[in-house]
Structure 1
């Protein structure tokens, strides 16, 4: 079981896995972030090992972009945990509390914002994986495609959180904007993965 005082990325992998299996948190959002980060690492593996064999400036630029994305993705796991806990705290307030509804709406905004931020970075990671295809040597393509599939699965995982929490936003317009963004990320993610798989099979 993980210790809540220890940053999530410092836990043993087996402890993280077992806590996911038994505790409310980390949930699907945080687990999706970890999966996306590992998926991106597989794409970077293909780029880095290819770069060791035959250095090029375009490949180095992709590696730098991927490393930046990886560092920006990682903190969102803890942000997801914090957002969920704040939302549950707001929902758990006494129904006679005059500020309960406003607190729920405010917490829901963060509970939608964090997965949308994650989806945006997953989208960028998939776009990177597509661009990386021609720069990865054939012996590492399977790693990169597996990584892209992990990122794609993570994208759809966090979008489930958007759908689950959008109904608690403060207005119909806010809900509709969140769901529209969700649909856009889902469609683009599907198209990017299809392009990656198609390129890898040729």
Structure 2
């Protein structure tokens, strides 16, 4: 699986799976994006099929929002790969000097911000799942619940990259800010999932 030649989204599913199992990249961040995207697709499935049976403007608005989230989420898989590769390149520089240190701080910023951006979109997708609860017909609730659980797991998975890379940020303030954002997103995700699964069960 050659990352530079082909988009991750153009790979066959089993090729992506085998690359995850045996190559440095894609890692947990890109895998989390794919998982969240599939989870969102399951929520959208419940909305779309319900809409086919009984069209409504509020449901269509949720479908449109979900499609927009999907378009914003998908590119983050490759952004995660690029951020990780840049970080490893900075760490791997031969010379131990200020230039290398600065390069590591810059690369670490991207290696933290991409997973935080992913987590924020997962948060939005969970919020959409919560809003969708009243607009999904009973026969599709299992899909919606499974989707919300995938999104929740992806959010927690991608936050592990924040944990791994925040220590390389250039200041205590930047590290504290990243960790505070990470904790807030994790706590909100847990609360949202509890609400979604309770309402859709």
Name the TM-score class by shorter chain.
over 0.9
Deviation track 1:26-62 (CA, whole Å, cap 9, x = no partner) reads: 0000000000000000000000000000000000000
The question of 1:197 aligning with 2:197 is answered yes
Match of 1:164 in 2: 164
Match of 1:104 in 2: 104
Deviation track 1:126-173 (CA, whole Å, cap 9, x = no partner) reads: 000000011000000000000000000000001000011000000010
SS in 2 for 1:55: coil
> TM-score, normalising length from structure 2?
0.98
SS in 1 for 2:169: coil
Match of 1:82 in 2: 82
- Counterpart CA distance in 2 for 1:167 and 1:98 is 17
Root-mean-square deviation (Å)? 0.8
Match of 2:179 in 1: 179
Match of 1:154 in 2: 154
Deviation track 1:172-197 (CA, whole Å, cap 9, x = no partner) reads: 10000000000000000000000011
- Counterpart CA distance in 2 for 1:151 and 1:3 is 24
SS in 2 for 1:146: helix
Match of 1:56 in 2: 56
- Counterpart CA distance in 1 for 2:131 and 2:106 is 38
SS in 1 for 2:183: helix
> TM-score, normalising length from structure 1?
0.98
Q: Is the contact between residue 116 and residue 159 of structure 1 (CA under 8 Å) also seen in structure 2?
A: yes
Match of 1:67 in 2: 67
Shift of 1:4: 3.1
Provide structure 2 residue ranges, at least 5 long, that are not aligned to the other structure. Answer: none
- Counterpart CA distance in 2 for 1:157 and 1:175 is 19
- Counterpart CA distance in 1 for 2:20 and 2:130 is 31
Task: Name whichever of 180-189 and 93-102 sits farther off.
Answer: 93-102
- Counterpart CA distance in 1 for 2:187 and 2:140 is 27
Taking the TM superposition and a 5 Å limit, the aligned residue runs for 1:112-131 are: 112-131=112-131
Paired residues, what number?
A: 201
